[in-house]
Structure 1
Amino acid sequence: MKHLTFILLFTAISLMGFAQAKDAVVGTWTNSLGEAHIDITKKGDKYFGKIVWLKDPKTEKGETKTDVKNPEENLRSKPIIGLEILKNFSFDDGKWTGGAIYDPKSGKTYKCNMALKGNNELHMRGYIGFSLIGRTEVWKRFK
């Protein structure tokens, strides 16, 4: 009986460690240029991220920045702060894959993978088609 209790305890501790690794990406991150903070959350078993802070939240005319480059015309008046730019990432073998990243500066959406380096660097790989053809940015943990 003691042996079974030990095995169950060991299994529970191991699963807790795995869950923590899966959720290590959850939190607030600063993009590579320091222009925005993105809050990454988990919904079900997927990960999403939205802009929660902008260095320059207003236009030159003093108006709230909106998603003016969005290919869907009816979304162009949506504020940048609160905009979901990371969608549908799944944790797989130490990386978050299968998701997409939206760039409000261009209005384009790219396939994306995320990989955590240490605890404070998030390597964001955006690409079209194959991940070999793309660009990597390094985000820093804000909190």
Structure 2
Amino acid sequence: MASRFGYVIALVAALAAPVAHAQGTSPEPAGVWQTQAGDAHVKISKCGGGICGVVVSLREPIDPMTGKPQVDNKNPNPSLATRPIIGLPLFSGMHPVAAGKWQGQIYNADDGGTYASSVTVTGESTLRVEGCVGALCGGETWTRVGR
């Protein structure tokens, strides 16, 4: 099955260095971000001393095979496999580790796995989302939607 989300974080790359604004304040990721492939928007907000990310829209919200909204059908937990992708939490409670950088775990709906991850603000309108599966790492750059 073709990837249905640009936020597929099956392999994640080396962690990027955080970037501080010229004013010396810590950059914040709060807002809506478009995945690198442009097929999903993720809302990041502060939560519990860290950050959380939830899918808020999809380029293709309807599954062409079923004619119904996309669901988390790769989730190994049968009770979660029917939950809608829109509204799906990708990460929660990522904790700050440096200015503009958070670490925790991210959920990948394309394979139902959860992986070690980091989120780093790399500019006013760019965010690096990375994760690792064992020693294999990779990631992608998300772009801020609106301002």
TM-score range, shorter chain: 0.7 to 0.9
Identity between Structure 1 and Structure 2 (%): 29
1:32 pairs with 2:36:
yes
2:123 counterpart letter in structure 1: G
Q: 2:52 aligns with which of 48, 54, 79?
A: 48
Relative to total residues, which structure has the larger helix share, 1 or 2? 1
- Mark the runs of 5 or more structure 2 residues left unpaired by the alignment: 1-22
Q: Give the match for residue 91 of structure 2.
A: 86
Residues 103 and 119 in structure 2, CA contact (< 8 A), matched pair in contact too: no
TM-score with structure 1 length normalisation? 0.79
- Structure having the higher Rg: 1
Distance in 1 between the 2:137 and 2:117 partners?
Answer: 9
TM-score (norm 2): 0.77
1:62 to 50, 60, 67: 67
**In the alignment, what sits opposite 1:122?**
127
Contact 2:26 2:100 in 1 (8 A): no
Are residue 139 (structure 1) and residue 138 (structure 2) matched? no
Root-mean-square deviation over aligned CA pairs: 1.7
| Distance of 1:134 and 1:111 partners within structure 2 | 9
Deviating runs (4+, > 6 A) in structure 1?
none
**For each residue in 1:64-86, what CA deviation from the matched residue of structure 2 results, as whole angstroms up to 9, or x when unmatched?**
11100001111011000000001
Q: Using the alignment, how far apart are the partners of 2:76 and 2:106 within structure 1?
A: 14
